[in-house]
C-alpha cells in the first residue's frame, strides 16, 4: 500500500497556488458581465476569452519554452481530453444549464464536481477516502446552495439539469486529467495545448468574429471604472484565464484532485464578494452563512490531509499509467521534487 507523501511547506504552497487560481477565475464573472452589458453574448465573449488566452500563451511558450509544446503520440489523448473537458466542455455545458435553469441551480450542479472526483477516486482508483472528505464535500455543496440561493428559482428543465451535470463531469475531468498530466508535462506546455484545443472547439461553436466590431471600442463599466471593451477582454484572457490555469495545473503537481476540487468551491464565494464590491449586488444573510459553511467544508477536507489518502490498489490513474501521485518508476512523489 502506497501513501502520497507531502511535506507541510509543499502542501501549503500547493494549496496557496490552488486558492490563487480560483480567486483569479472568480474575477471572470464581473469582467465578462461588464462586456456582456456592453452588448456581447455570453458564448461569443467566452470564445474570445479562450481564443485570446490560447494565442497569447501559445506565442509566449513557443518563443520562450518551445520544448514544452512537444508531446509524445501517446500523450495526445491527455491534451485533447484536457482541452475538451477542462476548457471547452465546462463552458459549453454551463451555457446550456444557465439558459434553461436558474443561475443558482446551475452553479450548484456544476460544482458537484468534487463529489464526482471523489467517486472516481473511490471506485476507479480504489482509494479509501477519509470520512472527513465526504463530510467536507457535503457541507461545501450545502453551503454553495445557500450562496447561490437556489430556492429563488423554481423553473427546472431536464435538459438544463443535464447540462449542469455534464458541466460537473467536465469539471471533474479538468481535475483528474490535470492531476494526471501535471507531474509528467511542463505546466506551460500543457496549459497552452489545452487552451488551443478548447479554442478550436469554441471557434466552431461560437466564432469570436460574430461580436460586432464596434463593441471592442465601446466602454465597459466595472464598478467606478470605465474602460474600452478590448482592454477588459485582454484582462479577462490573461488574469482570469491564462494565470489561473497555469497556477491550477502547477498546484495539481502536489495536490490530490480530491482536495483540489473542493478548493475550487471557493470561486463562487469570491465571485459573490466581487459582484458585491464591483457590481453593487449585495450579499444576503443566507449567502454569508452559506459562505461560512462552504469554507468550513473545504477546511474539513484539508484537515483530512493528503497523507491519509492511502492507495490500496492504484495500477492506473486514467489510462493504465501510474497515478499522478507516483512517479513512473513507482516511488512516491514528494512535493519538493523539481518540475520539468
pLDDT, residue 31, reads: 85
180 with 324: CB under 8 angstroms? Answer: yes
Asked whether the predicted pLDDT for residue 64 surpasses 90, the reply is yes
Enter the C-alpha cell of residue 44. Answer: 461569443
Residue with cell 449567502: 287
pLDDT, residue 8, reads: 59
The size of the chain, in residues, is 340
| Residues 149, 29: Cα–Cα separation, whole Å | 17
Q: Which residue has the higher pLDDT, 188 or 160?
A: 188
| Residues 316, 322: Cα–Cα separation, whole Å | 5
b/e sequence 297-329, b meaning 16+ C-beta within 10 Å: bbebbbebbbeebebeebeebbeeebbbbbeee
Q: Enter the pTM of the model.
A: 0.75
pLDDT, residue 3, reads: 38
Q: What is the mean pLDDT of the chain?
A: 78
Asked whether the predicted pLDDT for residue 232 surpasses 80, the reply is yes
* Residue 329 confidence class, pLDDT cut points 50, 70, 90: very low
* Residue 184 confidence class, pLDDT cut points 50, 70, 90: confident
- Condensed to tens digits (0 to 9), the pLDDT of residues 83-126 reads 999 899 988 888 888 777 766 677 777 878 888 888 888 788 88
According to the per-residue pLDDT averaged within each range, which of 56-70, 91-105, 200-214, 254-268 is highest?
56-70
pLDDT, residue 324, reads: 40
Asked whether the predicted pLDDT for residue 294 surpasses 50, the reply is yes
Amino acid at each position: 500500500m502506497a501513501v502520497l507523501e507531502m511535506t507541510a511547506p509543499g502542501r501549503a504552497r500547493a494549496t496557496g497556488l490552488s486558492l490563487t487560481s480560483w480567486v483569479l477565475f472568480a474575477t471572470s464573472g464581473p469582467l465578462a458581465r461588464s462586456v456582456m452589458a456592453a452588448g456581447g453574448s455570453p458564448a461569443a465573449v467566452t470564445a474570445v476569452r479562450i481564443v485570446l488566452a490560447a494565442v497569447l500563451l501559445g506565442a509566449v511558450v513557443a518563443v520562450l519554452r518551445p520544448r514544452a509544446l512537444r508531446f509524445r503520440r501517446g500523450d495526445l489523448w491527455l491534451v485533447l481530453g484536457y482541452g475538451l473537458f477542462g476548457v471547452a466542455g465546462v463552458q459549453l455545458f454551463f451555457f446550456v444549464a444557465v439558459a434553461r435553469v436558474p443561475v443558482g441551480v446551475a452553479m450548484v450542479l456544476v460544482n458537484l464536481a468534487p463529489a464526482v472526483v471523489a467517486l472516481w477516486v473511490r471506485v476507479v482508483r480504489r482509494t479509501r477516502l477519509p470520512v472527513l472528505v465526504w463530510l467536507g464535500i457535503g457541507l461545501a455543496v450545502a453551503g454553495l446552495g445557500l450562496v447561490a440561493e437556489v430556492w429563488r428559482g423554481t423553473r427546472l428543465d431536464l435538459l438544463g439539469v443535464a447540462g449542469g451535470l455534464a458541466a460537473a463531469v467536465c469539471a471533474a475531468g479538468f481535475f483528474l486529467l490535470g492531476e494526471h498530466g501535471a507531474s509528467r508535462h511542463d505546466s506551460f506546455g500543457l496549459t497552452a495545448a489545452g487552451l488551443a484545443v478548447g479554442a478550436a472547439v469554441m471557434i466552431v461553436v461560437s466564432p469570436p468574429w460574430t461580436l460586432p466590431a464596434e463593441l471592442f471600442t465601446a466602454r465597459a463599466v466595472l464598478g467606478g471604472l470605465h474602460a474600452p471593451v478590448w482592454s477588459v477582454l485582454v484582462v479577462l484572457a490573461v488574469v482570469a484565464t491564462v494565470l489561473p490555469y497555469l497556477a491550477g495545473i502547477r498546484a495539481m503537481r502536489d495536490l490530490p484532485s480530491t482536495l483540489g476540487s473542493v478548493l475550487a468551491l471557493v470561486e463562487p464565494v469570491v465571485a459573490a464578494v466581487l459582484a458585491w464590491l464591483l457590481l453593487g449586488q449585495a450579499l444576503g444573510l443566507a449567502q454569508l452563512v452559506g459562505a461560512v459553511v462552504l469554507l468550513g467544508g473545504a477546511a474539513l477536507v484539508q484537515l483530512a490531509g493528503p497523507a491519509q489518502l492511502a492507495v490500496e490498489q492504484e495500477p492506473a490513474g486514467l489510462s493504465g499509467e501510474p497515478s499522478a501521485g507516483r512517479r513512473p518508476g513507482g516511488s512516491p512523489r514528494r512535493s519538493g521534487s523539481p518540475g520539468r
